[in-house]
Amino acid sequence: MSEEKYYVPEQSALPIFCATAMGVMAFGAASWVIEGGDAKIFLVGLALMTIVMYKWWSLVIEENMQGLASPQLKHSYVLGMLWFIFSEVMFFAAFFGALFYVRVFVNAWIGGEASVVLFDNTPTDAATANNDILWPGYERQWPVMETPDQAVNGEEAIFKGPDKNMSLPLWEYPASQWFSKLYTLLPWLPLWNTVILLSSSVTVHFAHTALKEGNRNVFLRYLGITVMLGFFFLCLQVAEYYEAYVHYGLTLQSGIYGTTFFMLTGFHGAHVTLGTGMLLIQLIRGLKGHFSHEDQFGFEAASWYWHFVDVVWLGLFIVVYIFG
């Protein structure tokens, strides 16, 4: 019907296949992690999911090209994307919150100290009892280099802290030497990763401006640079993880420091991968000439996502690395 304003699509087989793929993946993932399990079922689900996603996005792009997407529908997409990003923010909030709670409260309590000092400075009996009875010998510390387990069980401990951590190298020196030791920052990967990610936020912004001005070549160039930067970031992160595992004795299993370090940076890395993928797809679409200066939702969505990933990194850089 032509007078219809809002495009309500015909029935479609994609959603239920997508749900099936999710179901198979969930079941497969569970049977994979269980001891003696394998990835077969999961991979079947993943294959199905890949096909469904490809078809689904192609369909949406096609509908878009046919002009079915009214401004109102596009606004629905905008809202969808923004609220999706908000949900991602809350996902990271759970992990940042866990880090905060462990550092500020748990660490003090099992170390027999008061945590936040509101009224007076004396640790309560409960706090010292935690230490005296459960983890005698454990001292409050961050990063946790010697776990409570080690404090009690020594060499027999199951959870062992790392040999070296990822924090700002300057902390190893007294404040008076910081200036003269600035050069120690040069080989510090997180700094470079910050530079890379921040610049990529700028380049993606340039790409956006160029697109709005209808400057296709500039748009493609900056978008290409952004994708490259995302890729560099990931390479450096791989290098960092390699360093951690091989030279620092820092692994996922090295107590709460390793846990929070790898979970936070790992999920961030996963999101960078996703974001780079999204931008890459937009680049391919751009090369095919899908965008016009009014119609650029796909690219805009990817770039919002990219800015979000960037902001998360800033948070990580501050709490995990600088004050890590």
By CB under 8 A, the residues from 71 to 110 that bind other proteins are 72, 75-77, 79-80, 83-84, 86-88, 90-91, 93-95, 97-98, 101-102, 105-107, 110
Closest approach of other proteins to the CB of residue 180, in Å: 34
Q: Pattern of binders to other proteins over 172-211, x per CB under 8 A?
A: ----------------------------------------
Contacts of 253 (CB under 8 A, 6+ apart): 159, 160
Residue 289: helix, strand or coil by DSSP?
Answer: coil
Closest approach of other proteins to the CB of residue 9, in Å: 5
Of 97 and 136, the one with the shorter C-beta distance to other proteins is 97
Using CB under 8 A as the binding rule, the residues of this chain from 232 to 261 that contact other proteins are 252-253, 255-259
Using CB under 8 A as the binding rule, the residues of this chain from 263 to 282 that contact other proteins are 263
Kindly write down the DSSP assignment for every residue of 120-159, as one continuous string.
Answer: --PPPHHHHHIIIIISTT----SS-SS-HHHHHHGGG-SS
- From candidates 120, 125, 126, 288, binder to other proteins by CB under 8 A: 126
- CA atoms in the 13 A half-sphere facing the CB of 291: 26
According to the binding rule CB under 8 A, does residue 136 interact with other proteins?
A: no
- CA atoms in the 13 A half-sphere facing the CB of 37: 14
According to the binding rule CB under 8 A, does residue 115 interact with other proteins?
A: yes
According to the binding rule CB under 8 A, does residue 30 interact with other proteins?
A: yes
Of 195 and 270, the one with the shorter C-beta distance to other proteins is 270
Of 167 and 200, the one with the shorter C-beta distance to other proteins is 167
- From candidates 113, 149, 243, 295, binder to other proteins by CB under 8 A: 149
Contacts of 76 (CB under 8 A, 6+ apart): none
According to the binding rule CB under 8 A, does residue 64 interact with other proteins?
A: no
Query: How far is residue 132 CA from its own chain's centroid?
Result: 38
CA distances from 66 to 11, 59, 62, 270, 299 (A): 18, 11, 6, 33, 18
According to the binding rule CB under 8 A, does residue 148 interact with other proteins?
A: yes
Q: Do the Cβ atoms of 81 and 75 come closer than 8 Å? A: no
